[in-house]
Structure 1
Amino acid sequence: MKILVTRPQPEADKTARRLVAMGHEVVIEPMLHFQPLSLCGGVAGDAKAIAVTSAKAIEALVFNDLVSSLQQLPVFCVGDATAKAAEFAGFHRVMRAHGDVDSLAKLIVESHLKGPFFYPAAVDRSGDLAGRLMQQGVACRMVETYQMVAAAKLSQITRDQLQAGGVDCALFYSARTVQAFLNVSNLEKTIVFLNSMKALCVSKRVAEHAASFGEVLVAKTPSEESLFELLTSLQG
């Protein structure tokens, strides 16, 4: 199958390598681009732990050279990919939730740590982790540390592939990615070609934004492994 990968870099390349190893053809078209914000050294305040909902937040801390001052704090991560990024960056005590904000909030509450938690967040957020924690009596300091800038256009290669009907399906890992892709497709008048494609979405929330596709499939769990299981079922 020919698969459109819309993740930001460098995750897009990692996903593409896995897909190629599985025998697929890949078109890479990142819809969001990482842009870290400048942070001061004391941004975490008197935090007793860190809550992270994306590996990009870890990248922002690395960019600002803050890991060494924070690495002894426990880090509660939304899922495996974020946890691996935290460990690779040098954090020593890393806990994993099950891939979404709900499970992360539950993990933090069940830890019985009252905080304050330092939550390095994106400018555009899909959930309210800080609000959920505060409702449970857990102090949380949310700080915007990075933004994901939406792509303004498609590459010529992707445009040609879409117009030729050469793409079988697209993988989507976030609602903002779907929205960015559809916005660009509208502008470039390629949206009409999406009704012959499948959208494979990491969650129901992401799938809600993918109605322009011919078929929308949702992973059983919010993970890349589950997305790949969908691909395998399509082949089988």
Structure 2
Amino acid sequence: MKLDVSSLQSVREFVKVFKERADRLDILINNAAVNAAPLSSTEDGLVLTYATNHFGPFLLTNLLLEHMSKSGTETRVVNVGSLSHVTADLDLDYITPHKAKHYIDSLQKNMIKKKDDLLLYQNSKLMVLMFTFELARRLKGRHVTVNCVQPGIVATRMMEDEKHFFRNLIMKLLKPFARGTEDGCQPILHCALSSDLYSVSGKYFGNCVEDHSLHPMALDEQMCKQLWRISENFTRLTDS
């Protein structure tokens, strides 16, 4: 089954086919992400990094929740975050389609300097965490849990694809200390499979233990609700 999470249409088409072929879904791991992606907008008018890392998974998860509820036992959503979210500088006004083109133009003209491709990633991972916490509040009383996990520094292609000179140098220095992909997936599998986390929801984990290193916005319930409303509106979730 084909799925491009940066495309809202692709997400909808995938969910339709999945529901036709599968009678249940026990675990959903939202791991797809991009870092240092081209400063461009998607067919939906969203910044590519935000579309791939947040809006697509937001829509995918919500469209699959009803299917997950049919399993009869506890099912789990695991959102993969990043420890880099703590340095995010997120302005919710600039994640919307009608502001995306202006924002991208600003970035391309270096109005916010060279760090912005990384900042987009940091912001998107903060959005993932805020989405996790708000979804957990909305799922209370249902047999679906949702948690967010940061796997630490893992030697993936994201590390190799870094184009910025100084960050590329930092990545090269960090690589010997980074986890391999098999080791790096353990915190994610822990959240997905551990019996210790039965009924645990709305938490942020790192290295298989709860991580309390949180950006203040993630702890602001009103900001999380605002992000939810924005995401719901621009993914046209209520029309689904």
Higher helix share: 2
Length-normalised TM-score, structure 1: 0.25
Higher strand share: 1
Length-normalised TM-score, structure 2: 0.25
Report which of the two structures shows the higher radius of gyration computed on alpha carbons: 1
